[in-house]
Amino acid sequence: MKFKTRDLSTAQRVLKIRKLKVGLTGRPDAQPVLNEIDLDIRAGETHCLVGESGSGKSVTSLATMGLLPKDALEVQGGLIDLEGFEITNATAAQMRDLRAQRVAMIFQEPMTALNPVLRVGEQIEEVLNMHTDLSKSEAKARTIDIMEQVHLPDVQRVYSAFPHQLSGGQRQRIMIAMALVLDPDLLIADEPTTALDVTTQLQILKLIEEMQERHGTAVLFITHDMGVVAEIADTVSVMQKGEIVESAPIRELLTNPQKDYTRKLLKAVPNLAPRPARAVSEKDAVLNVDRLEMTYGGGGWFRKSEGVRAARDVTFDIAPGRTLGIVGESGSGKSTVARCIMRLIDPTGGEVTVAATEISRLSRRNLQSHRKHLQIVFQDPYRSLNPRWTVARSLCEGPINFGTPKSEAMERAAELMELVDLPKDALDRYPHQFSGGQRQRIAIARAVAMKPDLLVADEAVSALDVSVQAQVLDLLDDVQDRFGIAMLFITHDLRVAAQICDDVLVMQKGQVVEQGPAAAVLANPRHDYTRSLIEAAPGRHWDFANFRALERAPAVEGPIA
Amino acid sequence: MTEMPSSRRSAFQVLTGVFSLPAGARLGAGPTIAALVLALIVLASICAPLYVPYDPLAMDAMSRLRPPSDEFLLGTDPYGRDIFSRVMTGGRVSLLIGIGAAIVSVAVGLVIGLLAGFFRAADGIIMRIMDSLMAIPAILLAIALVALNGPSLSSVIIAITIPEVPRVVRLVRSVVLSAREEPYVEAAIALGSSMPKILIQHLMPNTLAPLIVQGTYICASAILIEAILSFLGAGVSTEIPTWGNIMAEGRSYFQIKPGLIFWPGLLLSLCILCINLLGDTARDLLDPRMKKREG
């Protein structure tokens, strides 16, 4: 793997943060949110700030922009020096001048960062109007120029487009154009690619790098993804609980981390080397999906409309104790397939056979008794548990629906809490008293309480921090070993799929483009789309957990399905 | 439906959660005064028969249109009835109509709204009926309904409730529409919970907070509409004094006896002001977004 090894020690220092302390407004004695952090970024350097959620990455960036929410957070000490200008005690007017001209920011979600009712070209021009005396035609010329620089296609058309008419990647390009139009010295990027598909992410990362080289901008890049860090960073700071644990050049940090926390963080990062597949099961498949088809819309009273074919001709089966992963980018139809199998939506064609019963056309009433065979774990642990219910009540809901007496269900719930490694007294608490990872454990316990034959995990670890992600993946593995459950694992992240799946099915635009054993698909992708997905996976050449470059994935065994 | 003890406890906690103030929140002076004034008016109205000096219906030809005095605290009306006794007694019916209409319309609207929000098939039909009800001005509809059923307490409450129901239905439906997309509701479907169970146990609690707020507004507007109906002669029978019909009767004597309109009008305005203020406070306390902005 090639890391950046540029020597920047002679370059001019753009940002200098010393002993910066940020705490709750009006409560200097409370635990600070940022505790005396130091940070240096030089011109042309990309400095990555990594850490898990709540570690203070975003607060650092907001403090640098002078955008701390005043009634909640305040700077309680230290200094932020932007090329000789002290930000911590700047006035609002000074900060307004500073932003865009010398420091700019791009955000995670470009759809909400852009004004939905203004044309994107006008939004870029507004920055020029605010900060320069350019005439109308000059401003437009400059806007068109920067839009060409960020490689937007058909610039004249995009100039007068509204944000919703552009793709996520194009919107992020607009944000980058807006941030760089006044040629700032420092660009702060707060998780700018987290909401994007991997292939788009790769393009945006390349674009930021290109713009950085062209303008000599210093970049403070905030991310939770070690893969992204490995691709773009010159230097890295690892944050934990408001402190910078370790700060080092990228190669040093990845090959020889000094601090335990950094090691722990790196050990949790999944890589693309597939897990050893489990023995092929002799038993009959638990789930058979045959030519499944789902078309949204269509019909209509007077005129037949086309409808969106979100899934077509999807065929696969899963044997007990094995895991099939469905991977694909957003809009590929992977979640549609999961929801059809769960019968949360009704498929428009094909057959779904679970535990020897065809369920795709059962009426709601007849379906009820088959629900216990299949359970689902959702992506967002904050929304998948009823916030008004105790954990015990959530865990007992399913079994009681199927006639288990309450006392027995409670006993089982207590056992399950042990299984998912949560204290028994957690049963009487409410979801908001738990962290995201703990809630996901509860959601898994709730699904397992039904003793299902098939567990569908719909992006079940995507919203979690890497270390928590690794734990939840272990838990899923454990549950599967213990109960011999078949699992359908839906994910957009090939690295996660490599960690848990025996077989992989790649979807694009509602169709299956490739399917087979995980080792075969990941090592020898046969379809161009699979290949581009693998190539876009950030940090794919590095084995983070072992602090070394990744050897090639094991050789393919057996014929490819 | 099989209920378990823990679910009852948590339903109780839901309710206490809705009613108790969040930790650290303090009522400002405005809402506190409003609550006190309202409590005073309600108490005074309920206990009216215990302390009013005269029968509010007893006419006395000898003491017509007397000015305020020790004998008649606020004077008498053209039929010689004591205004103080009438106004205080009139509050009972006005408040009863306000609270009754609020409870009935919230209850009816909740049921219809839950059904409309959860069942796609029912949604179209129910909402078109609600839309057409909303298209008719509330007062016109109420007058028509009272004219059909004859003037009585229950028919006035019904007449006020029917125009209010569509608003409650829309509110409940919108809450249910967004809540039913929540993964925890889909998880409940996957766990095999029946539709009534999902509706009552998962979806209904979400609607409680906005409904309480809406209820206070309906209460205030019902008292007002009753007054308007009485004023127009379409309210409860003139046998029963209400703030509305006291004012309606006083209309023609306004120049020589302004107290006939002033006193019931004052209590009516105070009540509505207090209820609206409390409604706003409830909305701010129950809506976390509003709270943050105040923060």
Q: What is the pLDDT of residues A7-23, one digit of tens each?
A: 777 788 899 999 999 98
What's the structural domain count of chain B? 1
Dihedral sign (CA B254, B256, B260, B265): positive
Q: For residue B211, give the CATH number of its domain.
A: 1.10.3720.10
**pLDDT per residue of chain B (295 residues) written in tens, 0 to 9:** 333 444 444 444 444 444 444 444 556 788 889 999 999 999 999 998 888 888 888 888 888 888 888 888 888 888 888 889 999 998 998 899 999 999 999 999 999 999 999 888 889 999 999 999 888 888 888 888 888 888 888 888 988 899 899 999 999 999 999 998 899 999 999 999 988 899 999 999 889 888 988 998 898 889 888 888 887 878 888 788 888 888 888 888 888 888 888 999 999 899 989 988 988 888 777 765 554 443 3
What's the structural domain count of chain A? 2
Q: For residue A514, give the CATH number of its domain.
A: 3.40.50.300
Q: What is the pLDDT of residues B223-241, one digit of tens each?
A: 888 888 887 878 888 788 8
Which residues make Cβ contacts (< 8 Å) with residue B48, sequence separation at least 6?
B85, B88, B89, B91, B92
- A529 in a structural domain: yes
Predicted local confidence at residue A530, as pLDDT: 92
- A2 in a structural domain: no
Considering the domain architecture, whether residues A191 and A325 belong to the same structural domain is answered as no
Considering the domain architecture, whether residues A322 and A467 belong to the same structural domain is answered as yes
Whether A160 and A153 have beta carbons less than 8 Å apart is answered as no
Considering the domain architecture, whether residues A236 and A362 belong to the same structural domain is answered as no
Considering the domain architecture, whether residues A295 and A151 belong to the same structural domain is answered as no
CA–CA gap between residue B140 and residue B159 (Å, rounded): 10
- A274 in a structural domain: no
CA–CA gap between residue A546 and residue A495 (Å, rounded): 15
Domain encompassing residue A47: 13-267
- B249 in a structural domain: yes
- B32 in a structural domain: no
Tell me, yes or no, if B23 comes closer than 8 A to chain A by beta carbon: no
Domain encompassing residue B278: 90-288
The torsion angles phi and psi of B174, rounded to 5 degrees, stand at: -65, -40
Contact A401 B192 (CB under 8 A): yes
Predicted local confidence at residue B52, as pLDDT: 85
Of A344, A385, A397, nearest to B193 by CB-CB distance is: A397
Give percent above pLDDT 90 in chain A: 43
Q: In what order do the strands lie in the sheet with A34-42?
A: A34-42, A13-24, A73-82, A85-86
- A282 in a structural domain: no
What tokens does A78 get? 């230290």
Q: What is the pLDDT of residues A494-517, one digit of tens each?
A: 889 988 999 999 999 899 999 999
The torsion angles phi and psi of A543, rounded to 5 degrees, stand at: -95, 90
Q: For residue A406, which residues of chain B lie inside 8 Å, CB to CB?
A: 4
Q: For residue B4, which residues of chain A lie inside 8 Å, CB to CB?
A: 393, 396, 400, 406
- A277 in a structural domain: no
Contact A390 B2 (CB under 8 A): no
Predicted local confidence at residue A229, as pLDDT: 92
- B60 in a structural domain: no
Whether A323 and A517 have beta carbons less than 8 Å apart is answered as no
Query: Which residue intervals of chain B are DSSP H helices?
Result: 5-19, 29-46, 48-51, 83-118, 120-135, 138-149, 153-179, 183-190, 195-197, 204-231, 243-250, 259-286, 288-294
- A272 in a structural domain: no
Dihedral sign (CA A489, A491, A497, A500): negative
What tokens does A420 get? 């998912």
Of A372, A393, A443, nearest to B10 by CB-CB distance is: A393
- B72 in a structural domain: no
Whether A556 and A523 have beta carbons less than 8 Å apart is answered as yes
Predicted local confidence at residue A475, as pLDDT: 93
CA–CA gap between residue B103 and residue A239 (Å, rounded): 54
Predicted local confidence at residue B295, as pLDDT: 34
Give the residues across from A511 on adjacent strands: A508
- B16 in a structural domain: no
What tokens does A54 get? 């709540």
Considering the domain architecture, whether residues A242 and A294 belong to the same structural domain is answered as no
| HEC per residue, A445-499 | HHHHCCCCCEEEEECCCCCCCHHHHHHHHHHHHHHHHHHCCEEEEEECCHHHHHH
Q: For residue A443, which residues of chain B lie inside 8 Å, CB to CB?
A: 187
Interface test with B, best of A70, A374, A388, A396 (most B CBs within 10 A): A388
Whether A476 and A308 have beta carbons less than 8 Å apart is answered as no
- B44 in a structural domain: no
Type of residue at A29: D
Considering the domain architecture, whether residues A250 and A294 belong to the same structural domain is answered as no
Angle between helices B5-19 and B204-231 (to 10 degrees): 50
- B74 in a structural domain: no
Considering the domain architecture, whether residues A172 and A24 belong to the same structural domain is answered as yes
Q: Name the DSSP letter for residue A165.
A: G
Inter-chain Cβ pairs, chain A and chain B, closer than 8 A: 73
Whether B118 and B154 have beta carbons less than 8 Å apart is answered as no
- A278 in a structural domain: no
Of B6, B194, B205, nearest to A393 by CB-CB distance is: B6
| HEC per residue, A376-401 | EECCCCCCCCCCCCCHHHHHHHHHHH
Give the residues across from B182 on adjacent strands: none
Q: How many CA atoms lie within 13 A of B196 on its CB side?
A: 3
Mean pLDDT of A320-328: 92
- A275 in a structural domain: no
B107 C-beta neighbours (distance < 10 Å), count: 15
CA–CA gap between residue A309 and residue A338 (Å, rounded): 15
Q: What is the pLDDT of residues A407-459, one digit of tens each?
A: 999 999 999 999 998 988 889 999 988 988 999 999 999 999 999 999 999 99
